[in-house]
C-alpha cells in the first residue's frame, strides 16, 4: 500500500498549533492555537486567526482570511472564483477574496463563494453562501438565507 504524504510549505504559525496529517498547506499564516484536521488543503495567501479549528476534509483556497475563535466544519469548501464570465479564471491575480469574521461557525459540507461574513455568524450544515453576510445571525440553505438574527 502506498503511503499518504503531506506537504507543508512556507507555513508561518504561532504557539500551540496542531496539524493532523495528512494535509497540504502552502504559503499560509496561522495565529496561536490553530487546529487543522486531516485531509485538509489550505492554499497560499491565507490567514487563519487564533483559536480557530478547521475540521477534516475541508478545502481553503487562496485569498481566504478566517478570524479568531472560528470553527470550520468537516468538508467545507471555499472558492475564489465566482465564474461570472462563464468560465474558470486561470490567472491567480483575478482570484477573489473571502473574509470570515471572528467567532464564526460554518457547518459541515457548506460551500462558500468569494464573500465576506460578519463576526458572530452561524452557517448551517450543507449551506451555500453566495452573497456577503453583513447581519449577525443564523443562515442556512442553498443559497443561504437569514433564519434569525442573533
Supply the DSSP string of 12-50, one letter for each residue.
B--TT-EEPSSEEEESEEE-TT-EE-SSEEE-SSEEE-T
Distance of CA 40 to the CA centre of its chain: 10
From 79, 84, 78, 76, select the one nearest 125 (Cα to Cα): 76
Catalytic residue among 21, 29, 53, 57: 57
Please compute, for residue 93, the number of CA atoms within 13 A of its CA located in the half-sphere on the CB side.
0
Task: Give catalytic status of residue 74 as yes or no.
Answer: no
Residue 70 to residue 137: CA distance in whole angstroms: 15
- List residues with catalytic annotation: 57
Amino acid at each position: 500500500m502506498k503511503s499518504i504524504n503531506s506537504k507543508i510549505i512556507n507555513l508561518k504559525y504561532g504557539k500551540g498549533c496542531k496539524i493532523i496529517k495528512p494535509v497540504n498547506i502552502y504559503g499560509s499564516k496561522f495565529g496561536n492555537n490553530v487546529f487543522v484536521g486531516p485531509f485538509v488543503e489550505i492554499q497560499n495567501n491565507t490567514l487563519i486567526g487564533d483559536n480557530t479549528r478547521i475540521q477534516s476534509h475541508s478545502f481553503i483556497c487562496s485569498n481566504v482570511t478566517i478570524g479568531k475563535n472560528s470553527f470550520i466544519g468537516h468538508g467545507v469548501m471555499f472558492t475564489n472564483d465566482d465564474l461570472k464570465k462563464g468560465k474558470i479564471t486561470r490567472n491567480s491575480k483575478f482570484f477573489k477574496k473571502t473574509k470570515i469574521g471572528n467567532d464564526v461557525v460554518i457547518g459541515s459540507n457548506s460551500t462558500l463563494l468569494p464573500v465576506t461574513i460578519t463576526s458572530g455568524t452561524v452557517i448551517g450544515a450543507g449551506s451555500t453562501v453566495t452573497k456577503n453576510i453583513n447581519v449577525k445571525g443564523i443562515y442556512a440553505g442553498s443559497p443561504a438565507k437569514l433564519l434569525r438574527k442573533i
